[in-house]
Amino acid sequence: MMKFILDESLVALGIKNVVIGIAKNVDPHAPLSASFLGKQKEMEKWALKCDVEEVSDDAVIQGYKDLLQSVGRSVKKNPPTVLALIRNIRHRGSIPHINSIIDIYNVESLHSLLAIGGHDLDKIAGQIEFTVSQKEDVFLPILSTEKHVSQTDYVYRDQKGILAWLDVRDGENYKFDDETKNAIFIIQGNAHTSVEMRLEALKRIENDLAECMPNLEFETYVICSEKKT
């Protein structure tokens, strides 16, 4: 099994554990099931009509905003994932269709309000460390230009670089593509998200994937800090 390290610097920000799902034998081109497409349509309708202020005040979203503010980052410039996704849906007038894997976890994000990192497992080198950066760094977000990472930003990274920054952007070098066979889903959560809630979100992702990908193998892990109190 791949090694995961939850650094004390992240625990200090209120992230006491990270929940992970590993999905083997995924197919980005698999036709989505009728039941999932119905769910996707419902979530699209909700995103187009919901009261954004109300969503923004939800405890889960508030937890993400608190995290950003605790490290001195602007919530306006770096809105929590779900708020950014709702804005994107409203701008386009519909939910984006990217590929079957991404469509499934986007719908789960809207459903649970959780930031869910999705990455191609085979592009990851060595272990994944969840930590406050503790050094100046650079990060290349999906479909964007390089960003400066300050030493107080929280990230998770492998031996090559940063997979996700501030839980708001995922890395270009680890994204799903047409050839993706194995996926990893990462839910860091915040002080307001229980392990149970995050495991339930992964279970729904697993069920939606399994409906259209018959050879799917799915395992979940809960990563805790190694420091003994």
What would the two tokens of residue 29 be? 């081109």
- Looking at residue 228, its pLDDT comes to 55
CB 23 within 8 A of CB 183: yes
Question: CA dihedral defined by 142, 143, 145, 146, rounded to 10 degrees?
Answer: 10
Residue range 153-184, pLDDT digits in tens: 999 999 999 999 999 999 999 999 999 999 99
- Secondary structure letter of residue 160 according to DSSP: S
Q: What is the mean pLDDT of residues 11-36?
A: 97
What would the two tokens of residue 161 be? 């670089």
Give the phi and the psi of residue 135 in degrees, each rounded to 5. Answer: -160, 155
- Looking at residue 50, its pLDDT comes to 98
Element (H, E) at 37: helix 34-49
When pLDDT is cut at 50, 70 and 90, the band that residue 149 belongs to is very high
User: Which amino acid is residue 76, in one-letter code?
Assistant: K
- Looking at residue 229, its pLDDT comes to 47
For the whole model, what pTM was predicted? 0.97
Q: Are strands 128-132 and 154-157 parallel, antiparallel or unpaired?
A: antiparallel
